[in-house]
Amino acid sequence: MLVPCLGSRCDAPMNVENHMKRRSQESIRNVGIVAHIDSGKTTLTERILRYTGRLTTMHEVRGKDGVGATMDFMPLEREKGITIQSAATFVQWRDCDINVIDTPGHVDFTIEVERALRVLDGAIIVLCAVGGVQSQTLTIDRQMRRYGVPSVAFVNKCDRVGADPLRVCQQMRDELGHNAVMIQLPLGLERHHQGVIDLVEMCAYLFEGEDGEDVTRIPIPDDVLDVAARQHQILVEALADVDDTVAELYLSEQEIPKEVLIAALAQATRHHRMTPVCVGSAYKNKGIQPLLDAVCNLLPAPHHVTNVALDQNNDEAEVVLSSEPDDPLVMLAFKLEASRYGQWTYCRLYQGSLNKGDTVYNTTHKTTHKVGRMARMHANQIEVVTSAQAGDIVSLFGAPCATGQTFTDGKEHNYSMTSMYVPEPVMTLAVAVENPERRTQFSNALQRFSQEDPTFRVSTDEETGETLLGGMGELHLDVYIERIRREYEVEVEVSEPQVAYRETITRRAPFDHLLRKCRGGIGQYAGVVGYIEPSEDGESYEFRNETSGGSIPKEFIPSCDKGFQRAMQKGSLGGYPVVGVTVCVNDGRYHSVDSSDLAFQIAAVEAFRNVYMDAAPVLLEPRMKVSVETPEEFLGAISGTLSRRRGNLVHCGSFQGKATLEADVPLAEMFGYARELRSVSQGKAEFAMEFKRYDRVPEAVQREVLEAKDQ
C-alpha cells in the first residue's frame, strides 16, 4: 500500500550492533500493537516478524504444533492463549527500523498497555471486522489520548462471516470520535477475501502462496471499481478538509499526485486529525505488508513528536527535548523485568546517546549507575548492543530503579519526565504459605512481582497478620498465584477474593483536639482546631491551612497534613482507606519546648479519629463497566443475570444476530459470573469488565459487609 514495492524483506539475520550505528531519526518508528482481547494482535505481530525476516516459520497462538506465538513466550500465555505481559521486538521494513511492542488485550493487564503507550510514538489499533469497537477498544482509546499517541487502524479478520470494515470505520467515528478514513478496502469478504484495494494508488493487491508472501499488483476489478472510486473520493475530501495543498488541488479540479496524498495523510495522522484505516486478515496472511508500509509512511518518527522534561534545578521549568543523538542524555525507565539472575530495565531514549561503560544519573534516587550489559529485546531473547541513540528502546542489566524514573548523563541535567498513570487495585486476596520452609522463596516472588507490576500490591493485615495481594481482577491475581507456584515452587492457600472498599464522609464535622503528655523531661504538646468535610469531587484529599497569628508555627503545618493523611489510611467504619476528604485547620496551640513534628502528627491523627464518626462515614464500592457479547437468543437471560447482581443496564444493541450489552455492576457481585454466563448461554457468550468508578454502597449492603468483617 502507498508504495508500489510494498517494502522488502531481508532474509539474512539482522546484525544488531552494526545496524544500530547507521540509523537516522527519520528511519525509526516506535509502535505498539493494541486492541480488545482476541482481536488478533499477537497473530498480527507474528506475521510482521515473518515478513520482515525475523522469523522463518510462523506459529499460531493456539497452534497444533504446541510451539505458540513468538511474543507469547511465558508458559501461562501459551496455555491460556492470551497475552499476559507486553513483549518488545524490533524489525526492519523498507528503510525503517521499527521497535514493536505487543500488548495484552485483557483489561486486568491494562498497566502493560499503559506503560507501553507512555513511551511509544504511534500505535496500530487492531479491530475485529465483525466485533468492531468493543469495550477494551474504548479503554485503549482513552489511554492513547492520555499520552497523545496517533494511530493507524487495522480492521482484522476480514475473512470471517459477518465482516464489515466500513461499519467498523463508522463505529470509530461514532464511538471513539476519530476522523477515521478508509485508505484500503477489502478485495472480497468472508471466504472470498483475497486481498486489499489501495485507495491511494487505486490498485489492488493479491496475497498468494503458503505464507502470503507472493504479492501481486493488479488493476481494481470492474465489479468493485465504483465502490473504490467512491471511497477514494471520500478520502480526498477528508484530506482537503485538513490540508491546504490537497484542498487547492481539489477545488481547482486538478489531479492530485499520490505523493501529495501520502504527505497529507502523514501530517494529518501525526497531528491527530485523521486515523487511516487498513484492512486484512492476519491469520490468512493478507494485508500485512501494506500495513507495514502505512506504519513507515504515516506514523511519526521520534523527531516528529514533542517531548518535554521538567528541570528540577529550575523550579520544574519545562525543557523541550531535541531527539538529537549528540545532545545530553535523557531516558525514561518504563518497565522492569526481574529474573532470578538479575533485573532488566526497559528504557526509552528521548535525547542523546548511550554507550556501554557510560555512567548515568537517576534523577529520582540521586544515584549513579554504570552501564554494563545493554541489549535490545526480541521477545525473551537478548541481543546485546554496545550503543543506542535517541529514539531507541533498550534494556539495561542491573539498573536499580523503579518504573517511571528518569536517567540523565549527570547532575547538571537534573530532569524528570512525567510518569505513567497507574490505576488502583480493586480486589485483594489473603494468601498463606503452606510450607513455612518456603517463606523466603515466597517473599522473593512477591518482591519481584511488585517491582515488575505497579498494579500488583502487597500488604499485611494488621489485625490478622495475613499477607494481602491486591490486583485489577480475578484473572490478574490468579496469574500471579500460579506463577508463584510454578516459578518459585511455593504452594499457597488462597482465601476468597475481597473487594477493595473505600470509606468517605458525607457531612462536615468540627474538631478541637489538644495533645498534652508529660512524663518527665520534654513532653508532647500540640493543639489542632478546624473541621473535616467532603471534598468537591468525592475522591481526592485536600489540606487547607487557614491559621493566622502563628497559632501553629509554619514549620508544623506539614506535620498536621502528614498526620491527617496517616489517619485516613484506615477508617473507623470498617478499617478501609478513607477518600474524598477536605481537612481545614484554622487554629491551634503550641508550646515553645514541648511542641514537635511528632506531637502535631499525633494530634492530627487523634483529632481525625475522634471526629470521624460525627461526619457520617459511608462505604464506597468499586463499580465495573461490564460488556457482554452474546447471540441474540440469550439476551433476555443474560440481562436477568446482570439485574440480579445489582447491575444497571447502560446500553444494548444487536447486529446480524449478535447482541452487546453494557452494564454498570458492583465488583462484589461479579465473582463467579463467568460460570453463570457460560451456563445461561451454552458457552456462546463472553464478557469483559473494567473499573469504572467508586460509588456509595446501599445501606442494607453496607450493614452486611460490616457484619461479615466483624465475624
pLDDT in tens, 584-615: 999 999 988 889 999 999 999 999 999 999 99
pLDDT score of 163: 92
Q: How confident is the model at residue 381 (pLDDT cuts 50, 70, 90)?
A: confident
Model-level pTM? 0.80
**Mean per-residue pLDDT, 613-638:** 92
Whether the predicted pLDDT of 22 surpasses 50: no
Lowest mean pLDDT among 277-291, 298-312, 397-411, 469-483: 397-411
- Does 651 have pLDDT greater than 90? no
CB 97 within 8 A of CB 27: yes
Cβ 356 vs Cβ 371: under 8 Å: yes
pLDDT for the residue 174: 93
Q: What value does the mean pLDDT take over residues 216-233?
A: 94
Q: What pLDDT does 521 receive?
A: 62
pLDDT, tens only, 444-473: 999 889 888 889 999 887 767 789 899 888
Are the C-beta atoms of residues 675 and 651 closer than 8 Å to each other? no
For residue 10, pLDDT beyond 50? no
Region 532-553 average pLDDT: 92
| pLDDT band per the 50, 70, 90 thresholds, residue 567 | very high
Specify the CATH number for 506-616; select among 3.40.50.300, 3.90.950.20, 3.30.70.270, 3.30.230.10: 3.30.230.10
Least-confidence region, from 120-134, 269-283, 420-434, 690-704? 420-434
What pLDDT, on a 0 to 100 scale, did the predictor assign at position 577? 93
**What's the pLDDT at 86?**
85
Give CA–CA dist 299/124, Å, rounded: 9
Whether 565 shows a pLDDT value over 90: the answer reads yes
Fold match flag (16-304 vs 427-499): no
pLDDT attached to residue 653: 82
User: What are the extents of the domains in the chain?
Assistant: 16-304, 308-416, 427-499, 506-616, 619-710
| pLDDT of 668 over the 50 cut | yes
- End-to-end alpha-carbon separation of the chain, Å? 66
CATH 2.40.40.20 is held by the domain 16-304: no
Write out the three cell numbers for 140.
485503549
What's phi and psi for 646, nearest 5 deg? 60, 30
DSSP class of residue 192? G
Average pLDDT over residues 142-152: 93
Residue 507, CB half-sphere, CA atoms under 13 Å: how many?
5
Most confident region among 7-16, 78-87, 644-653 by mean pLDDT? 644-653
Average pLDDT, the chain: 88
> Topology of domain 427-499, per CATH?
Alpha-Beta Plaits (3.30.70)
Checking if the pLDDT of 335 tops 50, the result is yes
For residue 3, the model assigns a pLDDT of 41
> For position 2, what pLDDT does the model report?
45
Q: Which of 51-65, 358-372, 515-529, 651-665 has the highest mean pLDDT?
A: 358-372
CATH of domain 308-416: 2.40.30.10
Based on its alpha-carbon atoms, the radius of gyration of the chain, rounded to whole angstroms, reads 28
CA 609 to chain centre: 37
Domain spanning 619-710: CATH 3.10.180.10? no
- Say if residue 350 is exposed, middle or buried (CB neighbours under 10 Å; 0-12, 13-18, 19+): buried
How high is the pLDDT of residue 411? 79
CA distance 583 to 151: 43
Regarding predicted confidence, which is higher, 62 or 375?
375
Share of the chain above pLDDT 90, in %: 53
pLDDT > 70? residue 648 = yes
Nearest residue to 426 (alpha-carbon basis) of 460, 473, 476: 473
